[in-house]
Each structure stands twice: as structure tokens, then as C-alpha cells.
Amino acid sequence: MDAGFISLMRKLAPDLTEEMTRRALILERISVLQPVGRRQLAARLNLPEREIRNTAMLLKNLGYVELDASGMSLSRKAEEVLDSARDFSKAMNGLTETENRLSELLPVDRVQIAPGDADEDSQVLYDVGRICAAKLRALLQNGNTLAVTGGRTVAAVARNMQTQTPLNVMVVPARGGIGRSVELQANTLAEEIAGRLGGHYRLIHLPDHIDAAAMQEMLKMPEVQEAMELLERADVILHGIGIASETMKERNMSRTAQSSLLQKGAEGESFGAYYNLAGDCLMESSSVGVDLARLKRTCRMVAAAAGSSKAAAIISVLRHTPHALLVTDQGAAEKMLRILNQ
């Protein structure tokens, strides 16, 4: 949305602009939370319940909102204006400008921001997953190979993945299994995404961390060789980003190794490797999974990460590897800008 037009609206009709912003925001939030009660929505948006009630009645009279015992939901008519309402709400909150600024400061073609901070509101992670799922689906074409990592954010993407027609894609895990819940492992999420897209999948039946000798023997297995070859030919890679200090503990890294990495300035982790704020790789992955150096040049990287606490981690990973898309939230994005502008 044009920044000049928004500036003009604020100058000529500040009262109307405020009302339009509130209506667009409430419409967008109902779409995510539906069916949702007025009190719950008021708490989510930190607005008086009276304002929610009045705006909801206006939207109902316009034919965009339906009210029943379960709460508020969007009508079919609302689909005509929902995308524009989302764009307007983002622009009025300055998120479009923030997206553009981040894509200028970091080697990423496009940035998409969900309102809120996942560190404070778990619903925001769902929003990041929803946005990323839609953008990822638009990137994929029949015959593509998609590689995915594990983790909570990628799981949110998987649960929001939708397609109207089956897509002939091959989905493979970008990592072996690691010591986290089975439902968050790359194998599980690769299978789920393939199912939702109507595609196919292959699994890597290997632990994430094994010694070099054992790895060489297991890589001789035909099914493992096939999965690894598919990884090298990946057209799109979807991955999450971890905070270095947290992932070290999750993977039971020795205190000596943790201390050494943190002293070197480790901020972010991705694919089992650790990076400092400048994007330097401090420790390469010793795990079974994608080798960034062996990917084809046309492979598009997609990162999904949410929460202000991940700001420095996101910067460290993106500075190391150019990305086609970053999907994050407002909390992380605003903190990233503060760090980058220092």
C-alpha cells in the first residue's frame, strides 16, 4: 500500500483513518481466531469490549461478520476484502515499511511480518505459520523437491499448509532425528506437509548425531542415499532458526563447548551449525542433513522464526546465507531493526 496515500489519509481524515484501521484489524483477527467471542477478542487486541461490540455490529451490518452462540466468524462475503484488510492493517501499523527496510539491510528478497510478539502471545506463532504456509505454497511448483527442518515454527507452517489441488512435490527432511518430541521432528513434519500438499515424501531414518564411522556405514543404505541425493537437488528449503544458547542445552552439548561458542559470540543456530552476529559460522554441523555448500544455486531458502528473543539469531543466520523469504513477527522485526541500526 502506497505510503504517500496513507500519510494523506492521516492528515485529511485522522478520525476516519482510525476507524478504518480498527475495522480492518478486527476483521483480520476474527479470520484467525474464528469463532471468537467479543471478550476474548478484546483481550487479544487490548481494546475495550464496547469497541469490539460496536465494530462487530457494523461489520455484521455490512455483511462481513456472522454472530452466533459460538462467537464471531467471517462470512463468505468477507473473503472479498480480507486480503486488502490485512494489507491495510499492516501498513497502518508500519509493518510494510519495516518489511521493506529489513529486506534492504539483510540478504533476503522478501520479508513478511505477523503482528505481535510470539514471546508474549502464543497465537502469534500460528499467524507466522499461516503466512509462511501461504507464501511457501506460492513458491512451489509441480516437480519440485522441498526440504524441511523440525521445530515449533515449522510445525506451525505444516499445520497451516493448504492446497486446492494436489501438488506433485517431493518433501524430505533436512535433518536426521534429534532429541525432541516426535511431532516436532523433521521426518514427521515432512510427512505431514507432503500429505497436505498431496505430494510424496522420503524419510531419513538416522539419529541427528552419530560418529563419523557409523555415519559412513549408514549412508551406504539405499534408502538413506536416495534421501540425501534428494536433499542436494532441493528447490526450496524451509527451516526454523534457534537461539544458540538454548539449542546447545537441548542437544546436551558439553559445558566447555557451550562456553567456547558463547565466548566467540554465538547467536543463532540453523541446520546444527552456529553463527555470530556477523554471519560467521563458528561451528559446522556434524549431523546428518542438508549441506548448504552442496545445494544447487537456484535453491530458495525460506526461514520462519518468531519472538523478539530470536532477533539476533535471525540476523546471524540470514547474514551467512542469502534467503528468498523470511517470515517473522513484529516483536522480532522491530528488535532486528534496532540491532541493525546500531
Residues 200 and 282 in one domain: yes
Angle at 102 between CA 96 and CA 107, to 5 degrees: 135
pLDDT at 209: 57
Number of domains in the chain: 2
- Three-state DSSP state, 126: helix
Residues 312 and 247 in one domain: yes
Question: Domain ends where: 92, 111, 131?
Answer: 92
CB 176 within 8 A of CB 285: no
- List, for residues 41-94, the tens digit of each pLDDT value: 998 888 899 999 999 999 999 999 999 989 999 999 998 999 888 888 888 877
pLDDT at 197: 95
Statement: residue 332 has pLDDT above 80:
yes
Gap between the Cα atoms of 243 and 208, Å rounded? 18
Handedness of CA 334, 242, 159, 41 (dihedral sign): negative
Statement: residue 129 has pLDDT above 70:
yes
Residues 174 and 80 in one domain: no
The CATH number given to whatever domain includes residue 44 is 1.10.10.10
- List, for residues 295-330, the tens digit of each pLDDT value: 788 999 999 999 999 999 999 999 999 999 999 999
Bridge pairing between strands 273-276 and 170-173: unpaired
The CATH number given to whatever domain includes residue 117 is 3.40.50.1360
Bridge pairing between strands 71-74 and 65-68: antiparallel
Radius of gyration of the chain measured on its C-alpha atoms: 22
Poorest-pLDDT segment among 220-224, 249-253, 333-337: 220-224
Mutual angle of helices 38-45 and 14-33, in 10-degree steps = 120
Using a 10 angstrom Cβ sphere, with 0-12 exposed, 13-18 middle and 19 or more buried, the burial of residue 142 is: exposed
Strands (E), the chain: 65-68, 71-74, 108-114, 145-148, 170-173, 200-201, 236-239, 242-243, 266-270, 273-276, 281-283, 300-304, 323-329
Residues 137 and 250 in one domain: yes
User: Residue 175 is placed in which grid cell?
Assistant: 535433518
Domain enclosing residue 154, as ranges: 95-340
